[in-house]
């Protein structure tokens, strides 16, 4: 009955006052979405330095009620904090982003890569994981220093720096190591002392909560590779961080603004990736944003710098529903029509169709993809990554990951023969089916 009443309120306008109260509408939509198990997390919206909306919904993976003070994983949003740390060190004269990374990590075989190349993802460095899979121990979690030793020994080939943008978490792993080399203290301690404490980010921490300021397990010498992720925070704490970027509370404004500049590549073209932030700037919109997508969360901070507006969204499930909920949030805030988030419907497919999809597909964006059938279920595995993900049918030819937003399509020729696999409705991403 409650859900029905709320839906009637949403669908049928009452008074002018009611129509204008977007915060009440947003709260209702998120409440329903949480009850339908479509959203667990936090949403904060601010305009001109004032918080207009800050609420939490649902439950954590441990079954605890999420409150506005619940620290949630923010995945790659952590990179903005790592990048700011580097700029703080430059502001203090302790490093220069134009320096080569080998000045701090001499054992790396990449002499031309600068700190700036790491910040804007133009380093050309290879991903480290394939080297671990080939030469290391895949049963253990490598620290950053352990990865560096492995890379130094086997020297995987890199591309020339500055030529192209290439998103690679290992760039920010190396930035965390450089921070430790410069400061002589654990990465987590530097962040706590120089960002969290000054800004009053009291519900934020790195990797795990610690007691008695013992940061020994939160450095590049131990635990997971830091710098690219592993920060837990709240929407409100991230708002405090976002607001600090308007002033000179942490460092000089000219350096802050460098984070939001387009990157010019060697051929003269521009990349819309600054220092951890993606950029969307024109005469109408001046938006900078950062997105974190992890195994257990989807987080984003969006800054509309012309208007001093911000939308901070933490979805505690990195599932297929996050985009529907986010789109509703964004549209309600902007007073636009919106679609009520709905659960994806599993299509009743004839599983005999699966056999014609089995095989290998080679595409530029995704590499080699393996499609298999096990126990009457269809699975996708990217090569050479171990493990597999079930493909859940949404039609005879389209499938989705139950815990991700991606949706796939098997493309057919006019005779119904399978010719390739790619993202739904986007034939440009198609990888051709390989003939054994």
What would the pLDDT profile of 323-357 be if each residue is shown by its tens digit?
A: 889 999 999 999 999 999 987 788 999 999 999 99
pLDDT classification of 11: cutoffs 50, 70, 90:
very low
Residues 401 and 263 in one domain: no
Q: Say what the pLDDT of residue 8 is.
A: 40
Residues 283 and 373 in one domain: no
Answer yes or no: is pLDDT of 245 > 50: yes
Quick check: is 406 in a domain?
yes
Residues 124 and 255 in one domain: yes
Residues 285 and 373 in one domain: no
Quick check: is 102 in a domain?
yes
Residues 316 and 355 in one domain: no
Q: Say what the pLDDT of residue 191 is.
A: 96
Quick check: is 21 in a domain?
no
Residues 115 and 244 in one domain: yes
Q: Say what the pLDDT of residue 12 is.
A: 41
Percent of the chain with pLDDT over 70: 91
pTM of the model: 0.81
Quick check: is 376 in a domain?
yes
Across 10-19, 296-305, 369-378, 390-399, least confident range: 10-19
Answer yes or no: is pLDDT of 94 > 60: yes
Q: What is the CATH number of the domain that holds 113?
A: 3.40.710.10
Residues 277 and 372 in one domain: no
Into how many domains does the chain fold? 2
Quick check: is 22 in a domain?
no
Answer yes or no: is pLDDT of 166 > 90: yes
Quick check: is 309 in a domain?
yes
Residues 103 and 167 in one domain: yes
Q: What is the CATH number of the domain that holds 386?
A: 2.40.128.600
SS3 string of the chain?
Answer: CHHHHHHHHHHCCCCHHHHHCHHHHHHHHHHHHHHCCCCCEEEEEEECCEEEEEEEECECCCCCECCCCCCEECHHHHHHHHHHHHHHHHHCCCCCCCCEHHHCCCCCCCCCCEHHHHHCCCCCCCCCHHHHHHHCCCCCCCCHHHHHHHHHHHCCCCCCCCCCCCCCHHHHHHHHHHHHHHHCCCHHHHHHHHHHHHHCCCCCEECCCCCCCCCCCCCCCCCCCCCCCCEEECHHHHHHHHHHCCCCCCCCHHHHHHCCCCEECCCCCEECECCCCEEEECCCCEEEEEEEECCCCEEEEEEECCCCEEEEEEECCCCCCHHHHHHHHHHHHCCCCCCCCCCCCCCCCCHHHHHHHCEEEEECCCEEEEEEEECCEEEEEECCCCCCEEEEECCCCEEECCCCCCEEEEEECCCCCEEEEEECCCHHHCEEECCC
Quick check: is 18 in a domain?
no
Residues 183 and 110 in one domain: yes
Quick check: is 377 in a domain?
yes
Q: Say what the pLDDT of residue 387 is.
A: 76
Owning domain of residue 361: 351-433
Of 320, 343, 369, which residue sits at a domain end?
320
Residues 142 and 213 in one domain: yes
Q: What is the chain's mean pLDDT, rounded? A: 89
Q: Say what the pLDDT of residue 177 is.
A: 96
Residues 106 and 148 in one domain: yes
Residues 206 and 261 in one domain: yes
């Amino acid at each position: 009955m409650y859900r029905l009443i709320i839906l009637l309120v949403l669908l049928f306008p009452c008074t002018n006052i009611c129509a204008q109260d977007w915060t009440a509408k947003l709260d209702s939509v998120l409440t329903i979405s949480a009850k339908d198990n479509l959203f667990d997390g936090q949403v904060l919206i601010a305009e001109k330095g004032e918080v207009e909306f800050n609420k939490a919904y649902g439950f954590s993976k441990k079954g605890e009620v999420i409150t506005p003070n619940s620290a949630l994983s923010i995945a790659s949003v952590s990179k903005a904090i790592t990048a700011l740390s580097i700029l703080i060190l430059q502001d203090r004269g302790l490093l220069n982003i134009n320096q080569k990374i080998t000045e701090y990590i001499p054992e790396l075989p990449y002499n031309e890569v600068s700190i700036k190349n790491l910040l804007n993802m133009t380093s050309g460095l290879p991903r480290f994981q394939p080297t671990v899979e080939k030469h290391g121990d895949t049963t253990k979690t490598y620290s950053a220093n352990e990865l560096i030793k492995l890379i130094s020994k086997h020297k995987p080939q890199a591309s020339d720096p500055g030529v192209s943008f290439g998103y690679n978490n290992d760039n920010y792993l190396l930035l965390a190591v450089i921070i430790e080399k410069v400061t002589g203290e654990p990465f987590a301690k530097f962040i706590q002392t120089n960002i969290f404490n000054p800004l009053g980010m009291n519900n934020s921490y790195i990797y795990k909560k610690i007691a008695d300021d013992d940061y020994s397990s939160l450095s590049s010498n131990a635990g997971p590779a830091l710098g690219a992720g592993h920060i837990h925070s709240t929407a409100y704490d991230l708002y405090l961080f976002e607001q600090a970027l308007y002033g000179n509370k942490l460092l000089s404004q000219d350096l802050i603004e460098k984070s939001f500049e387009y990157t010019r590549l060697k051929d003269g073209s521009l990349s819309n990736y600054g220092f951890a932030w993606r950029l969307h700037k024109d005469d109408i919109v001046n938006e900078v944003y950062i997105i974190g997508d992890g195994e257990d969360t989807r987080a984003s901070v969006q800054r509309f710098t012309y208007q001093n507006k911000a939308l901070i969204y933490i979805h505690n499930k990195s599932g297929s529903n996050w985009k529907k909920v986010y789109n509703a949030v964004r549209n309600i805030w902007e007073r636009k029509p919106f679609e009520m988030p709905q659960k994806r419907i599993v299509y009743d497919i004839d599983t005999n169709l699966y056999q014609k999809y089995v095989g290998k597909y080679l595409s530029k964006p995704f590499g080699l993809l393996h499609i298999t059938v096990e126990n009457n279920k269809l699975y996708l595995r990217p090569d050479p990554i171990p493990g597999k993900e079930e493909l859940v049918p949404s039609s005879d030819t389209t499938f989705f990951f139950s815990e991700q937003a991606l949706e796939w399509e098997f493309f057919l020729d006019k005779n119904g023969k399978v010719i390739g696999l790619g993202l739904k409705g986007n034939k440009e991403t198609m990888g051709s089916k390989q003939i054994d």
